[in-house]
Amino acid sequence: MTITLDIQLQDYVLEEEIGRGDLAVVYRARRRSDGAEVAVKMLACHFTFDEFFGRRFKEIAKQTARLEHPHIVRTYEAKQQGSVLYVVRELIDARPLAEVLEAQGPFPPQRMLMIARQIAAALDYAHQKSITHGDLSANRVYLDANDQATVADFGQTQAMVGTSLVKQGYAVGAPEILAPERVHGQGTSRQSDLYSLGILCYQMLAGKPPFTGTPAAVLHAQAYEQPRPLHLVNPSISVPLSEAIGRMLSKGLELRYNTGAEFVRALSVAIEGTAPVRAPAAAAAQIKEAGLQSSLPIWKRSWVWLLIAIPVIALLLALGFWVVSLLNVFQPAPAGTTESMPATPTAVVQGVGGAESEPGGPVVVKVEPTETPLITPESTPTPTVTPTFVPLPTPGAPTIADDSPFTNLRLAQEIGEDNQPEQVGTSFRPGTQPVYLFFDYDGIKPGTTWTHRWTWADTELDAYQDVWSSGYNSSGTAWVFYNPTGGYQPGPYKVTLEVNGQTVATATFVIQPGAP
């Protein structure tokens, strides 16, 4: 469809066309009131035939105008003049990501990571404001000369949902980035936006999306086919990086990463071998999550020097004991005395986590007394400790507040094909598979802030905050999951569900040491 517009706006002077698509034309414009440069995106005239779409379009523009983020193109207002709908937004000096990829080809992993981190930050920020994108394609992401990314057109495709335009065949998102659940008719969501981010990462590394062809063929592939692994498409891509992006492109929502930040951490680990994650530790100090990967070289990081210092100090202490022992051994003995150095047994203590420690003691030197003894020696036998397996106590039943919208909490290590929990329990074995928390919900209002928080002993592992979507049923069953980096380690764990900052339900479980 070719769009021809011949109109002058009351509040803006159109100066130059800077972009064109099937459904809209973008102009460089100047605001008459103050002369400020802006971008005006004008929709095709036939969009005004559906009055409901016009109202939705302007309402969503008001919502997106609240978004103030360095990686989101600012929306100023949406208006209608005559038969033309238009939205006024920030004018940026940048090119669409699709255009850059076409000109330069696939990006190296480090460049992809830098751009993905910025897009992910924009998505997480908007999702916290209960705003989804819905059409996160390479034409909606812009890169400037320094690879600073900005995302445009948040929420605009949502204006089409439920209108006559959809019945007329207008798409509510580019097929190449549409999540499987959206192909099946579900609305936009945080998970579908993150799926689109996974598509963009794949596209940046491969030079093209995972599925190409006619719109019908691409939609079928999104719903029913698996993308070809990236390391097979581009042999320079590592298997861990390929798997991280492949997980984000899972057909099941529960298998994808929960947030853009979590996805970026996985990409960082795959590319750089390290990422700013919040990890459990036996020490009292807890690593705080910074949200962005540290750029310090490895030799400048404090934990590296700590790892080096500990064995050095231990070696110096051992050397000191050895020197003292030698001095005692080679002291001249009084006449008529004999010296003996009995073998001293070493106790091996088995820790909860399976680590062994060998407490060393000073060498015991027995000196037979002379006629005038200097000291009466005493010998204390060293006990032998036999390691035994002591299981952690079984957790109690979940605790649920009287006013909690979440009930019937169940923990499981598997999820069946019918989306039902499998291997339900409260005591699990160590491993790398996630633990799922299933719960029933009822009476929670759309827009309510809720959180699921995971802790290990007294260490917070992760906390994810979201807004209850209007797309959920009024009641039903849902689940969340968590899989810590490196897998679950032995110890007690707790999952809390919170509503508006208040804990309403808690479930506990343990990972048993040495459990089969």
More confident residue, 83 or 283: 83
Assigned token pair, 25: 């034309």
What are the tens digits of pLDDT across the range 156-195? Answer: 777 666 555 554 445 567 899 999 998 888 888 999 999 9
Residue 242 one-letter amino acid: S
Q: Considering 230, 256, 277, which residue would you say is the last residue of a domain?
A: 277
Q: How confident is the model at residue 516 (pLDDT cuts 50, 70, 90)?
A: very low
202 lies in some domain: yes
- Return the percentage of the chain with pLDDT > 90, whole number: 43
Say if residue 40 is in the same domain as residue 61: yes
Residue 340 reports pLDDT greater than 50:
no
More confident residue, 3 or 277: 3
Sign of the C-alpha dihedral, residues 156, 157, 161, 166? positive
Say if residue 112 is in the same domain as residue 242: yes
Residues 349, 357 contacting (CB under 8 angstroms): yes
The reported pLDDT for the residue numbered 187 is 82
What are the tens digits of pLDDT across the range 250-263? Answer: 998 888 999 999 99
Q: Considering 277, 299, 333, which residue would you say is the last residue of a domain?
A: 277
* Strand 502-511 relative to strand 427-428, pairing: parallel
**CATH number of the domain where residue 463 is located:** 2.60.40.2550
More confident residue, 347 or 248: 248
The 3-class secondary structure across 275-313, one letter per residue, is CCCCCCCCCCCCCCCCCCCCCCCHHHCHHHHHHHHHHHH
344 lies in some domain: no
Say if residue 208 is in the same domain as residue 99: yes
Residues 50, 30 contacting (CB under 8 angstroms): no
Q: How far apart are CA 96 and CA 83, in angstroms?
A: 28
Say if residue 241 is in the same domain as residue 133: yes
Mean pLDDT of 214-238: 92
For tokens 């460089």, the residue is 28
Q: How far is CA 48 from CA 1, 82, 83, 161, in A?
A: 16, 9, 6, 15
Domain that residue 405 falls in: 399-511
Residues 199, 177 contacting (CB under 8 angstroms): yes
The reported pLDDT for the residue numbered 221 is 92
Residue 146 reports pLDDT greater than 70:
yes
Say if residue 7 is in the same domain as residue 125: no
337 lies in some domain: no
Say if residue 107 is in the same domain as residue 146: yes
Say if residue 35 is in the same domain as residue 114: no
Residue 296 reports pLDDT greater than 70:
no
Query: Which of 129-143, 364-378, 501-515 is the most confident on average?
Result: 129-143
Residue 322 reports pLDDT greater than 70:
no
Residues 503, 497 contacting (CB under 8 angstroms): yes
Say if residue 266 is in the same domain as residue 156: yes
Say if residue 218 is in the same domain as residue 134: yes
126 lies in some domain: yes
The reported pLDDT for the residue numbered 309 is 60
Rounded to 5°, the CA angle 255-270-300 comes to 135
Q: How far apart are CA 243 and CA 195, in angstroms?
A: 14
Say if residue 74 is in the same domain as residue 101: no
What are the tens digits of pLDDT across the range 297-316? Answer: 444 444 444 555 666 566 66
378 lies in some domain: no
Say if residue 252 is in the same domain as residue 210: yes
The overall pTM is greater than 0.85? no
9 lies in some domain: yes
Q: Considering 91, 106, 123, which residue would you say is the last residue of a domain?
A: 91
Residue 93 reports pLDDT greater than 90:
yes
Say if residue 406 is in the same domain as residue 449: yes
The reported pLDDT for the residue numbered 402 is 93
**CATH number of the domain where residue 86 is located:** 3.30.200.20
When divided into structural domains, the chain yields a total of 3
What are the tens digits of pLDDT across the range 398-451? Answer: 999 999 999 999 999 887 766 788 889 999 888 757 888 999 999 898 888 899
End-to-end CA distance of the chain, in Å?
64
Q: How far apart are CA 356 and CA 387, in angstroms?
A: 10
Q: How far apart are CA 348 and CA 359, in angstroms?
A: 7
Q: How far is CA 291 from CA 24, 118, 260, 483, in A?
A: 36, 12, 10, 18
Q: How far apart are CA 156 and CA 61, in angstroms?
A: 8
Write the DSSP symbol of residue 74: P
